[in-house]
Amino acid sequence: MNTIEAIRTRRNIKAFKPDAIARETIVSWLEAASFAPNHRMTEPWEVRFVGPETRAKLNHKTDFGAAPVVLLLTSKGGATPIEREENLMASACFAQNFLLAAHSEGAGTFWSSLAASPRSREILGVPEGDDVVGIFGVGYPEEEPPAKERTPIAQKISDLA
């Protein structure tokens, strides 16, 4: 699968097969994701594998689509507001890299923002000043939803003098 095809065919997966997914496979996608652009090489992303006890406490409404693995992705804060913002942008690039790496090898991912709530942050032990990028179900898709239509890109493009 080439990059454009991976970008176009990735979906937010809401239901997973029970099949296990090897931790080292996931780590290989995280390693690939770490080639994301990041200003001054801050490499601000941090990943936690969320274990069953913590996952149960989160009480997600579909339990992340029954994904066999759940990952928390956070982004280190910065010494200045700009550094923090740039770190978050870099971590979002890391996230997309990870989603595409997983998809290109036949897996699927479910991005949830549940972890950003104060209650979830506390359960997950996210340090104050760090940003939650998302919490992700990872596994093999039970179903692949159709693509959601996008606004024609021409409507998002303009020219400056």
Ligand X SMILES: Cc1cc2nc3c(=O)[nH]c(=O)nc-3n(C[C@H](O)[C@H](O)[C@H](O)COP(=O)(O)O)c2cc1C
In the complex, least distance from residue 5 CB atom to ligand X, rounded to whole angstroms: 14
Which residue, among 119, 138, 80, 108, has the nearest Cα to 11 in the 3D structure? Answer: 108
Q: What is the residue whose two structure tokens read 């274990």?
A: 51
In the complex, least distance from residue 137 CB atom to ligand X, rounded to whole angstroms: 10
Q: What is the Cα–Cα distance from 107 to 16, expressed in whole angstroms?
A: 9
Task: Name which of residues 129 to 148 contact ligand X (CB under 6 A).
Answer: 134, 148
Size of the site for ligand X (CB under 6 A): 8
In the complex, least distance from residue 101 CB atom to ligand X, rounded to whole angstroms: 15
Q: Which is nearer to ligand X, 51 or 146 (CB)?
A: 146
In the complex, least distance from residue 28 CB atom to ligand X, rounded to whole angstroms: 22
113 binds ligand X per the rule CB under 6 A: yes
Angle at 38 between CA 131 and CA 47, to 5 degrees: 45
68 — phi, psi (to 5°)?
-70, -20
11 binds ligand X per the rule CB under 6 A: yes
The strand pair at 45-49 and 69-75 is best described as antiparallel
Q: Is 117 helix (H, G, I), strand (E, B) or coil?
A: coil
61 binds ligand X per the rule CB under 6 A: no
**Residues forming the site for ligand X (CB under 6 A):** 11-12, 111-114, 134, 148
